[in-house]
């Protein structure tokens, strides 16, 4: 990535690093997100247990996710840990870094179209985005949600409009899925027919609302509803609305019905 953060990270921060040098008892790394910053991982912070060969765990030139343990500002030393990064947090950090790299590609295209360098694009607009929104990805998501971001960026209107257009053309909002468990029981002779009619009515309700929802049979009397939306808040709202509609209509037909959000 072209963009580099100024200053130094904070203790306990997770950082993307590139392995620079492997010694018998330590690994030296470059902090990819920071300008001209390097750090060291002691052998005891590579992995639990006894380590015979560091090269079994790290490879020169490869990227890893580390946790900041200590910072000596006077000497400029940064101590890191590899073993203290849980798998879930490592994957999350890697995905965030991957998304930022993708986001920067739009700035590269913007630079090419305007016949300027990527450095100039950052001076004109990129640095402001990081200052105001912490990342390109955060800014892009706000644009896709049609939030008013223009007031926070002081830049030539043509350049900003061009970037916003690219964001809307090239990037899609990440989808969120939520599920609910539904229990519907009708002991009447024609109970199955009533339940089928109930689901047909609910699907019509979903289609009229233009929601992305899928109702599936699990095993009598259990069913499931899955909602797909562009954000968690909206998905939760739709899930509640559809589930409540289904249960209310079911009770009108003399069914025993209840729903519960799936954790």
Give me the mean pLDDT over the 130-149 stretch. 88
The mean per-residue pLDDT over the stretch 55-70 comes to 97
- The whole-angstrom distance between residue 220's C-alpha and the CA centroid of its chain comes to 36
- Residue 236: phi and psi, rounded to 5, are -65, -40
All domains of the chain in start order, with CATH: 14-85 (2.40.50.140), 88-170 (1.10.150.190), 176-261 (3.30.70.1130)
What pTM does this model have?
A: 0.68
pLDDT tier at 46, thresholds 50, 70, 90: very high
How far is residue 108's CA from residue 111's CA, in Å, rounded to a whole number? 5
Residue 206 has pLDDT above 80, yes or no: yes
| pLDDT recorded at residue 96 | 93
Mean pLDDT for the stretch of residues 79-98: 96
Residue 263: the pLDDT is: 64
CB 137 within 8 A of CB 172: no
Query: What sign does the dihedral 123-128-130-131 (CA atoms) show?
Result: positive
Tens of pLDDT, residue by residue over 217-253, are 898 899 999 999 877 888 999 999 999 999 999 999 8
Share of the chain above pLDDT 90, in %: 76
Mean pLDDT value across residues 198-208:
94
């Amino acid at each position: 990535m072209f963009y580099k953060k100024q200053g130094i990270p904070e203790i306990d921060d997770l950082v993307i690093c590139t392995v620079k040098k492997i010694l018998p008892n330590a690994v030296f790394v470059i902090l990819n997100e920071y300008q001209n910053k390097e750090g060291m991982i002691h052998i005891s912070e590579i992995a639990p247990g006894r380590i015979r060969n560091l090269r079994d765990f790290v490879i020169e030139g490869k990227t890893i996710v580390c946790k900041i343990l200590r910072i000596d500002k006077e000497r400029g030393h940064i101590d890191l840990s590899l073993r203290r990064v849980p798998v879930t947090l490592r994957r999350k950090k890697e995905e965030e870094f991957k998304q930022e790299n993708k986001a920067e590609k739009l700035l590269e295209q913007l630079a090419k179209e305007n016949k300027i360098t990527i450095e100039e694009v950052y001076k004109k607009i990129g640095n402001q985005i990081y200052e105001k929104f912490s990342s390109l990805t955060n800014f892009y998501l706000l644009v896709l949600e049609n939030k008013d971001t223009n007031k926070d960026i002081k830049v030539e209107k043509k350049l900003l409009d061009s970037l916003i257009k690219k964001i809307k053309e090239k990037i899609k909002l990440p989808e969120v899925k939520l599920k609910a468990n539904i229990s519907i029981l009708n002991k009447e002779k024609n109970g199955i027919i009533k339940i089928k009619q109930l689901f047909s009515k609910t699907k019509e309700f979903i289609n009229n609302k233009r929601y992305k929802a899928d109702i599936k049979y699990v095993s009598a009397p259990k069913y499931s509803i899955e909602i797909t939306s562009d954000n968690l808040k909206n998905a939760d709202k739709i899930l509640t609305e559809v589930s409540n509609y289904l249960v209310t209509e079911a009770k009108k037909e003399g069914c025993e019905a209840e729903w519960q959000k799936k954790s």
